[in-house]
Structure 1
Amino acid sequence: MCAAERDGSAGVTAARLAALLSAFAAGDDRLGVSELARRTGMPKSSAHRLTRHLVAQGLLERDGAGVRLGLKLFEIGQLAVRGSGFVDAARPYLADLREATRNTVHLAVLEGTEVVYLDIVRGPDAPALPSRIGGRFPAHATAVGKAIIAHSPRPVLEAVISAGLPRVGPRTLTAPGLLRRQLTKVGEEGIAYEREESVAGVLCVASPVLDRSGAARAAVSISGWSNRVRAERVAPAVRTTALTLSRTLP
C-alpha cells in the first residue's frame, strides 16, 4: 500500500470514529452497537470493531449491553474549553449576572449552524432548561445564536439559512426573511431576544462578546420565565456583561 492509500484509509477510519462519538445525543445514557450502526450508516460489524477500539482507549465505556461516552472524553473536553482561560475569566461575571437577575446565564459559541454552551450558571428563579455544558442547539432558535450570527460575516447567516430553519419551540423563526430582519436589528442594537423559540414559556436575552475587529467570538445570555422577566430591564445588564467579557479576549 502506498503512502496516499494509507493516508486515505486512516482518514476514513478517523471519520468513522468521529461519527460513532458524534452519534450520541442529549439524553442518551447508553447506546447499543446496532443503534450506533443505524445512526452512522456503517455496517454493524464495522461499528462493533471500532466501538471496541474506542472502549480500549477510554473514549467509550461498557454499560450492560451497550456503551456510553467515557470520562476521558470529558477530560479532553475540559481541556478544550479551558485552554484559552476564557471560561475561567468569564465565570465571575456570569455569576454576577445570575445574582443580579436570578435567572440562568449561558455562555456560548457558534460551531457551524449550532451553538455550543461553554458554561451555564443556573438561576434560582429560572425554569428547567434542556441546555447543558457542551450541549448544542440550533443557532437560529436561540438568543445567543442570533447575537453571534448578527455580528459575524454574511456567509455565516447564509449557511444557517441554507441548512434549513427547523421548528424547535412553539415560536421558532422558520421564515428566512423574518430572521434576516430580526438579525439586522440585533446588529444595530447589540441585543438579541428569543421568546419561546426554543422552549415554551421561556424568554432569553443575549448580547455578543466581540473581538477587537468587532466580530463575535461568543455570546452571553439570561433565560427566565417569559411571564416574569421584563426584557427591557435585564437587557442593559446582559449588554454590560458582554462588553466586559469582550475586554477579556486576547
Structure 2
Amino acid sequence: MRQRKAEAETGPRRVLITGATRGIGRAMALRIAREGYEVVITGRKPSPQADEVLKALEDMGAKAHALYFDVTDRAAAQTALTEFTAEQGPFWGVILNAGINRDGPLAGMSEEDWDLVLETDLGGFYNVLKPLILPMARRRSGRIIVMSSVSGITGTRGQTNYSAAKAGLIGAAKALSAELASRGITVNVIAPGVIDTDMVTAEDRERILPYVPMRRLGKPEEVAGLAAFLLSDEAGYITRAVIPVSGGIF
C-alpha cells in the first residue's frame, strides 16, 4: 500500500542500469526486477545478450525497456536519456555499471588504452548523470549507485588507468552525494573485488585468489543483493558510503 501511494505521488520507481547486458549488470537487473522496480537496461547497441536480458525480465512479469548508446558519446547519451525522460518521466534510480579495463604496466600502456578506460569508466559518470540529475532533483527522492572497484580504493599493479578511473568515481560520487542529499537522493558506491564474470581471465584467478581472504571469487548475485538494498527504503539514510564486496581483499 505504501509503495502504491508513493508511486501515485511521485511516479513509478524506474531504475536505469548501464552496462546491464551481462555480468554484474545483468544480475542487478534481474534482482531489482524481482523487487518490483521498473528496469531500463542500456548497452552500446542491440545484441543477443540484451535481447536475452529483456526476455528474462519480461518473463518475470517486470516492466522493462532498453536504451542503446555508448556512454563515451556525450551527445548520444544526452539525446537518448532526455528523450526517454520526456516521454516516460524521471528516473527514480540510476546504477552506473558500464565500464571496461585495459590492463598493463603504465610504461607500456598506449594512449588509446589510457583514454578509453578514463572516458568510459569515469567520463560515463558525467555523460549519463548530467541529463538525469535535474529531473530527479525535482522529484525530491531517488537513489544513485556508482560501481567502482577495490582497485579504486587501493590501486592495483598493472591497472593505473582503471584504478585512476575508479578512484575518480569515488570522489565524484561523494561530491554529488553532498549536492543531492537535501533533495532526498542518496549516492553510494559499491566497490567489487574479483567477481566471477567474463572480465576475469584464468590468469587473473590464479594470480589474485591467494590474496583473497575468503579464497574464492565473488558472485554477481552477491553484488546485486547489495544494490537492491541500497535502492530500498531501508537504505534511505545511507549516503556517501563506499562499500566493498570483495571477500576481504584490500
* TM tier relative to shorter chain: under 0.3
**Structure with greater Cα Rg:** 1
Q: Which has the bigger relative contact order, CA under 8 A and spacing at least 6? A: 2
TM-score by length of 2: 0.25
Structure with greater helix percent: 2
TM-score by length of 1: 0.25
